[in-house]
Amino acid sequence: MTALPIHAVLPDLLAALRAGSNAVLVAPPGAGKTTAVAPALLDEPWCGGQVLLLSPRRLAARAAAERIAEMMGEQPGGTVGYATRMDSKSSARTRLLVLTEGIFVRRIQDDPELAGVSAVLFDEVHERSLDSDFGLALALDAQGALRPDLRIVPMSATLDGARFAALLDDAPVIESEGRIQPLELRHVGRMAEKRIEDEMAAAIRRALAEEAEGDLLAFLPGVREIERTAERIEGLGAQVHMLHGSLDPGAQRAAIRPARDGGRKVILATSIAETSLTIDGVRIVVDSGLARRPRYDRSAGVTRLVTERASQASATQRAGRAARQRP
């Protein structure tokens, strides 16, 4: 198995969890935290039950489970399983379960003691959704009142570890340094008066012309922009796939699979591909710098989808989708 940057700090993390119940892990994109940490816990003397790995998105949860199972020489549903809305694979043999934050919240509300669970890992905890915050609060409450033996590990690439550790009774902060491969960042200006689809299509064509190898992952704010960009890059000479939350699981898997017959591939994605996901073959990322997020409108009393500039943390995560396997 290829050594990942996270392997250098795994002994420190395991030692921290033997000595106490909590730890905070900070590791940059591509370090391997999503696929390497949870399996390493299974052989620990205190880990007699399940390890729950929480993922912020359904696609990332399925992909992480499939990747970990492949690394263990198994199929999902055996030792490693996943649970998401409308798509789950697990069995009585499952010891490592990757699940979305919403599924975890419902599980801990039904079973506040988390019977049969030894550890809960919150991946990409910096994203701070309602389910993530509520799930962490419920897990800490269960640990304090019912399960002092329960291990809780928040993980992120862009987390302020010291401030977050203070919320967990000054838990130790374990930091992994360095990316797997070198990454070059190029800032390309965008003309505000032009449509984002036209600018992105031009940037995609230019990137493929300048880089002779590798697939390309482009981030756009929403489905409409993805569809319009796809129209503008027809005849590009590469397979074009769309990747967003409205697609069925089969179409999402097809988008992240390696291209057929060795051809190049372009994936037009929303922020669904931003974290906890390795797409084989991607060496180029084109980022629109925009995201569509749910925001509460106080005057109307409803939640709306708002197009806004991506945060610095999001930009770091998006760039990290490249250079995970090759420079």
pLDDT tens digits along 146-162: 999 999 999 987 777 78
Pairing of strands 50-55, 282-287: unpaired
Q: How confident is residue 315, by pLDDT bands cut at 50, 70 and 90?
A: confident
Closest CA to 20 of 137, 133, 170, 120: 170
Give the pLDDT mean for 212-238: 92
CATH superfamily of 196-319: P-loop containing nucleotide triphosphate hydrolases (3.40.50.300)
* pLDDT at residue 238 is higher than 60: yes
Of 48-52, 243-247, 274-278, the range with the lowest mean pLDDT is 274-278
Q: How confident is residue 179, by pLDDT bands cut at 50, 70 and 90?
A: low
CA distance 281 to 123: 23
User: What CATH number should be reported for the domain whose range is 5-175?
Assistant: 3.40.50.300
Q: How confident is residue 167, by pLDDT bands cut at 50, 70 and 90?
A: confident
* Boundaries of every domain in the chain: 5-175, 196-319
pLDDT tens digits along 64-90: 999 999 999 999 999 999 999 878 999
Residues 189 and 241: beta-carbon distance below 8 Å: no
Q: Which residue intervals of the chain are DSSP H helices? A: 10-19, 33-41, 58-71, 101-110, 130-145, 161-166, 196-210, 223-232, 249-256, 312-319
CA distance 29 to 317: 6
pLDDT tens digits along 186-224: 888 788 788 999 999 999 999 999 988 889 999 999 999
For residue 115, which amino acid is it? A
Reduced to 3 states, what is the DSSP secondary structure of residue 174? strand
Residues 245 and 272: beta-carbon distance below 8 Å: yes
Of 20-34, 157-171, 212-226, 287-301, the range with the lowest mean pLDDT is 157-171
Reduced to 3 states, what is the DSSP secondary structure of residue 137? helix
pLDDT tens digits along 123-141: 988 777 888 899 999 999 9
Residues 312 and 276: beta-carbon distance below 8 Å: no
Query: Please, which residues bridge with residue 308 across strands?
Result: 291
Higher pLDDT, 258 or 11: 11
Q: How confident is residue 100, by pLDDT bands cut at 50, 70 and 90?
A: very high
Radius of gyration of the chain (CA): 20
What average pLDDT does the chain have? 89
Predicted TM-score of the model (pTM): 0.81
CA distance 65 to 82: 6
Higher pLDDT, 126 or 234: 234
* pLDDT at residue 180 is higher than 60: no
Closest CA to 89 of 58, 119, 111, 114: 58
Half-sphere exposure of 203 (CA within 13 A, CB side): 25
Give the pLDDT mean for 50-70: 93
